[in-house]
Amino acid sequence: MNDQNVVLMLNGAIWLFFLYRLVRALQHRKITGPAPLQAWLLFLSCYLTAILIYEPLAAQVDRLFGGIPMAMLLRTIMMLLTAQFYFMALRRLHPLKISAATVFTVANPGVMLLCLILFVINTGSQLLTYTQLDALIKGIRDLAMSLWVVTIFAPITWQLWHLEQLRPMKIHRTLSLIFLAVFLVQTLGGLGLSVATLQQADSRSFFDTIDRISKYGCLLLLLALLFPYKWVLPLLYPRKLYTLFRLARLEQYMELRTYLNRPLVKVPVNLWRLEEIELAIYQKIIAILDMYSPLKAYNRTYNFKF
pLDDT at 292: 62
pLDDT digits (tens, 9 = 90+) for 143-190: 999 999 998 899 888 988 888 877 777 888 899 899 999 999 999 999
- Residue 139: pLDDT band by 50, 70, 90 thresholds? very high
Res 262: pLDDT: 53
Q: pTM score, two decimals?
A: 0.76
Q: pLDDT band at 266, cuts 50/70/90? A: low
Residue 188, φ and ψ in degrees, nearest 5: -70, -40
Separation CA 181–CA 162 (nearest Å): 17
Determine the distance from the C-alpha atom of residue 134 to the mean position of all C-alpha atoms in its chain, rounded to a whole number.
28
pLDDT averaged over every residue in the chain: 81
What residue segments make up the domains of the chain, in order of their start? 3-227, 235-302
Distance of CA 216 to the CA centre of its chain: 15
Mean pLDDT confidence for 60-87 = 90
| Residue 294 confidence (pLDDT) | 57
Query: How far apart, in whole angstroms, are the C-alpha atoms of residue 57 and residue 49?
Result: 12
Q: What is the pLDDT of residue 200?
A: 81
Among the listed residues 50, 53, 45, 141, the one whose alpha carbon sits nearest the alpha carbon of residue 84: 45
Residue 127: pLDDT band (50, 70, 90) is: confident
117 or 170: which leads in pLDDT: 117
* pLDDT tens per residue across span 228-252: 666 666 777 788 778 878 888 877 7
Give the Cα-Cα-Cα angle 26, 31, 32 (nearest 5 degrees).
120
Q: Look at 113-117, 197-201, 203-207, 269-273 and tell me which has the smallest mean pLDDT.
A: 269-273
**What percent of the chain shows pLDDT beyond 90?**
19
pLDDT at residue 244, rounded to an integer: 79
- To the nearest whole percent, how much of the chain has pLDDT over 70? 84
To 10 degrees, what angle do helices 167-199 and 154-163 make? 170
Confidence of residue 302 (pLDDT cuts 50, 70, 90): very low
- For residue 207, what pLDDT band results from cuts at 50, 70 and 90? confident
pLDDT at 306: 44
> Pick from 110, 90, 115, 117: which is nearest to 101 by CA?
90
Cβ contact 7:52 at 8 Å: no
pLDDT tens for residues 40-73? 788 888 888 888 888 888 889 888 888 888 999 9
